[in-house]
């Protein structure tokens, strides 16, 4: 199957700093990438949808100025948590969908990035 890689897997930062998480599709081109957030013992919550070369579409309740998403190429999307606070500590997961007809349109998930804000 296709591979989606996230980096870093773990990150610990101080309150007030910004953290960037990368999501790469390693062996296919992804026109659309999705960012999710997972709280402990809960399901995944979609944060935003990003399409290559255009602005991300954020779900209701997600602060777009706090969670900056960039999808600059067909293989890379980034999520930047700006001025992070302890309540932003969470597990962030990305998924990618290939070009129409590629990989059957299936979603492939990254390994996730665990953010801890002190």
Q: If we measure between CA atoms, which residue out of 20, 110, 29 comes closest to residue 70?
A: 20
Site for another protein in 22-61 (CB under 8 A): 32, 34, 41-44, 46, 49
Only one of the segments 11-19, 60-68, 72-80, 90-98 lies at the binding site for another protein (rule: CB under 8 A); that segment is: 90-98
For residues 24 and 97, which CB has a smaller minimum distance to another protein in the complex?
Answer: 97
Q: Are 94 and 77 in contact (CB under 8 A)?
A: yes
Beta strands 67-73 and 57-58 are: unpaired
Is residue 11 a contact residue for another protein (CB under 8 A)?
Answer: no
Grouping H, G, I as helix, E, B as strand and the rest as coil, residue 87 is helix
Q: Angle 29-115-11 (CA atoms, 0-180°, nearest 5)?
A: 85
Q: Are 38 and 93 in contact (CB under 8 A)?
A: yes
Query: Shortest distance, CB of residue 114 to another protein, whole angstroms?
Result: 8
The correct pick among 6, 75, 78, 90 for binding another protein (CB under 8 A) is: 6
Which residues here bind another protein, judged by CB under 8 A?
Answer: 1, 6, 32, 34, 41-44, 46, 49, 93, 95, 97, 106-112
């Amino acid at each position: 199957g296709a591979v989606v890689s996230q980096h870093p897997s773990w990150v610990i930062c101080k309150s007030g700093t910004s953290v960037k998480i990368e999501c790469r599709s390693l062996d296919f081109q992804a026109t659309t990438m999705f960012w999710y957030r997972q709280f402990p013992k809960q399901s995944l919550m979609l944060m935003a949808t990003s399409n290559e070369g255009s602005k991300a579409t954020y779900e209701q309740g997600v602060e777009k100025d706090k969670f900056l998403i960039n999808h600059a190429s067909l293989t890379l999307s980034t999520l930047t948590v700006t001025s992070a606070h302890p309540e932003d500590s969470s597990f962030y997961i990305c998924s990618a969908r290939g070009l129409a007809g590629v990989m059957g349109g299936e979603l492939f998930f990254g390994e996730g990035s665990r953010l801890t804000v002190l």
